[in-house]
Structure 1
């Protein structure tokens, strides 16, 4: 959307922008299809363990049955690839894309706040949103992990449920760009999600360009403000020029994807 003239009163400009970005009213059928699309996105962005890879036929069938939308088309492209791959190759590709690359990590608050104190507060706020809606994540992942955010959006609906996605649109854009640059089929899942959100503004595009050039904010602190998972990262972060993938929030003890396969 092009900038509105400065001669238009600020209140009018604010309301026009809000109207453009406000989600359209959906029919019950559209709402159900949207929720299913979000839930599929949540599943497809999870680590491809034995349980998930064994369900590839069902996932492909469900995706093919979605109402014809741009999001469904993107998901179908991904599931066609996903169903044809060797399980071990899928695991390696997932780790390479999401665990070892700074610009395609699935932890959304990282892109907005980087390794700063504000990120701890953002995680706490997000977890409080889930609890206020009566939803318990189970503690297996941090609340900003994209599959968790998508599951909440599917359960809570297009309004408040999708608010975290809209807030982190710029991070989603950066992940999509990074996956596209890496020629990863996971780019189709991100593309599907982006079709569900309001179009980016000029400010969004500028912010993404800045993230690409400079990366998220950095600060030599831990996530002490986020009390739900006090062991996350042990309060340590990598130097600015290196990247340590975010750990999953431990239930009993930290573990890696590789350990899950032992």
Structure 2
């Protein structure tokens, strides 16, 4: 007989997955390299994350940093900023970024802008969910699910220099997607359209945020949760 898993258990599983993904999707550092055993212990049976952790183990820090920048900083389709996929660099994006700050505030933390990072950075949302509020983070991810899936598809189809297909970081997006509900109907169609058309392209100034994801700087903090986010550019 099968037993229904508790909602509490699902929240704990999601929090562990998000915690590990938030670290693996951030800019590689010595701290990441030294914490790989601890990260693997949290997700020892995950078929998506264990191969990514093994990949990180097998590369030098310089190689990881070079590959990371080439993937996430130089390629718009692999931007780690969730509102970018829905709004591009349009005026509507500013209001969406404010909504992320308000969501963090509902969870009892304030977003710090002193380092210039944007609040919709995927690592920030995952870290917030892992350490502060699972439900609020899940809602942010679901609200921007088309962007999450577009990033997952882009990384899965990434062409490597050796001719192989699939970014090592694709596993992290597959793991995140696996913690969310299955897409169907209009939602699946929205992902298809976004992949075909890409984000809106209107260029505007986003005062206080920076118009281009590739120009943002880090790290930044969700202050009371001590959450570092973003790579030095």
Aligned residue for 1:200, secondary structure, equals coil
TM-score of the pair, normalised by structure 2: 0.82
Count of residues in correspondence between the two structures: 212
Whose relative contact order is higher, 1 or 2, with alpha carbons under 8 Å and at least 6 apart? 2
Is it true that 1:37 corresponds to 2:17 in the alignment? yes
Please say if residues 107 and 246 of structure 1, whose CA atoms lie closer than 8 Å, have aligned partners that are also in contact.
Answer: no
Per-residue CA deviation, residues 67-123 of structure 1 (Å, 9 max, x unaligned), is: x5xxx2211121121222111111011111110111110000000111111100000
User: Following the alignment from structure 2 to structure 1, what is the Cα–Cα distance between the partners of residues 205 and 94?
Assistant: 8
Is it true that 1:191 corresponds to 2:174 in the alignment? yes
TM-score of the pair, normalised by structure 1: 0.73
Is it true that 1:209 corresponds to 2:184 in the alignment? no
User: Following the alignment from structure 2 to structure 1, what is the Cα–Cα distance between the partners of residues 91 and 7?
Assistant: 41
Residues 167 and 142 of structure 1, relative CA distance in 2, 3 Å threshold: same
Please say if residues 128 and 134 of structure 2, whose CA atoms lie closer than 8 Å, have aligned partners that are also in contact.
Answer: no
Gaps of at least 5 residues in structure 2 are 159-165, 221-229
Gaps of at least 5 residues in structure 1 are 1-23, 225-229, 238-243
CA RMSD after TM alignment: 2.4
User: Following the alignment from structure 1 to structure 2, what is the Cα–Cα distance between the partners of residues 80 and 162?
Assistant: 27
Residues 122 and 215 of structure 1, relative CA distance in 2, 3 Å threshold: same
Aligned pairs for 1:220-259 (under 5 A) are 220-224=203-207, 230=208, 232-233=209-210, 245-248=214-217, 257=232
Per-residue CA deviation, residues 200-225 of structure 1 (Å, 9 max, x unaligned), is: 1232232222222221112231113x
Per-residue CA deviation, residues 121-143 of structure 1 (Å, 9 max, x unaligned), is: 00011101101211134434311
Please say if residues 82 and 122 of structure 2, whose CA atoms lie closer than 8 Å, have aligned partners that are also in contact.
Answer: yes
Q: Whose Rg is larger?
A: 1
Aligned pairs for 1:1-262 (under 5 A) are 26-64=6-44, 68=45, 72-139=46-113, 140=115, 141-182=117-158, 183-224=166-207, 230=208, 232-233=209-210, 245-248=214-217, 257=232
User: Following the alignment from structure 2 to structure 1, what is the Cα–Cα distance between the partners of residues 9 and 98?
Assistant: 33
Please say if residues 155 and 161 of structure 1, whose CA atoms lie closer than 8 Å, have aligned partners that are also in contact.
Answer: no
